[in-house]
Amino acid sequence: MQSFGDVLDDCGFVDLGYSGPEFTWHGRRHSEWIWERLDQGVANYDWLAHFPMGRITHLNCYTSDHRPLLLALDPNGEKQKWKRKPFRFEAMWVTNPECGNTVSRVWSHQCANGTPMFTVASKLKRCKKTFKEVEQGTFRQC
């Protein structure tokens, strides 16, 4: 065990801490239950600089004697993502003939190489940006 601690020190690893149940393993030895925190998340300071919001959560598991660990790089990111108002296509846009031309022009634009799904997502993003400009009155063609 000392060697393991030495490696952690030599590599500059620090414990990321955790939330959730305290112990990650349990077992029975000589008719006594033993509970330990065997599984841990560790990182060096370079990693922490890149992922300062990184957190470990001990999850529940009823089919194993070890609890799985969940590493969330930005645990608040999912909540913040939904704080933004989602983009909605406005039906009034189809009443302007120029809007159809705008969609055709955006859709015919060549995208960077990628999978077909990446291409579709890129074109949808461009359409979204164009129509948001329309909504804000900054786009003149529609």
pLDDT tens for the chain, residues 1 to 142: 788 888 888 888 888 888 888 888 888 888 898 888 888 888 888 888 888 888 888 888 778 888 888 888 876 665 555 555 666 677 777 777 777 887 888 888 877 676 777 777 788 888 878 777 766 665 444 4
In a domain, 119, yes or no: yes
Residue-number span of the structural domain to which 90 is assigned: 85-135
How many domains does the structure of the chain reveal?
A: 2
Decide: 93 and 110 in contact? Cβ < 8 Å.
Answer: no
Last residue of a domain, one of 64, 79, 94: 79
**In terms of domains, do 7 and 71 share one?**
yes
Question: Percentage helix, strand, coil, to 5, in the chain?
Answer: 40, 15, 40
Decide: 51 and 41 in contact? Cβ < 8 Å.
Answer: no
User: What pLDDT sits at residue 105?
Assistant: 83
Tokens encoding 22 = 């305290």
Angle at 86 between CA 82 and CA 90, to 5 degrees: 170
In a domain, 142, yes or no: no
**In terms of domains, do 71 and 91 share one?**
no
**In terms of domains, do 103 and 48 share one?**
no
User: What pLDDT sits at residue 21?
Assistant: 83
In a domain, 17, yes or no: yes
Candidates 82, 122, 126; CA nearest to 134 is 126
Looking up tokens 């461009």 gives 126
Decide: 16 and 37 in contact? Cβ < 8 Å.
Answer: no
In a domain, 141, yes or no: no
Global confidence as pTM: 0.47
User: What pLDDT sits at residue 87?
Assistant: 66
**Looking at residue 96, what DSSP letter applies?**
S
Tokens encoding 60 = 């529940």
In a domain, 140, yes or no: no
**In terms of domains, do 90 and 60 share one?**
no
In a domain, 67, yes or no: yes
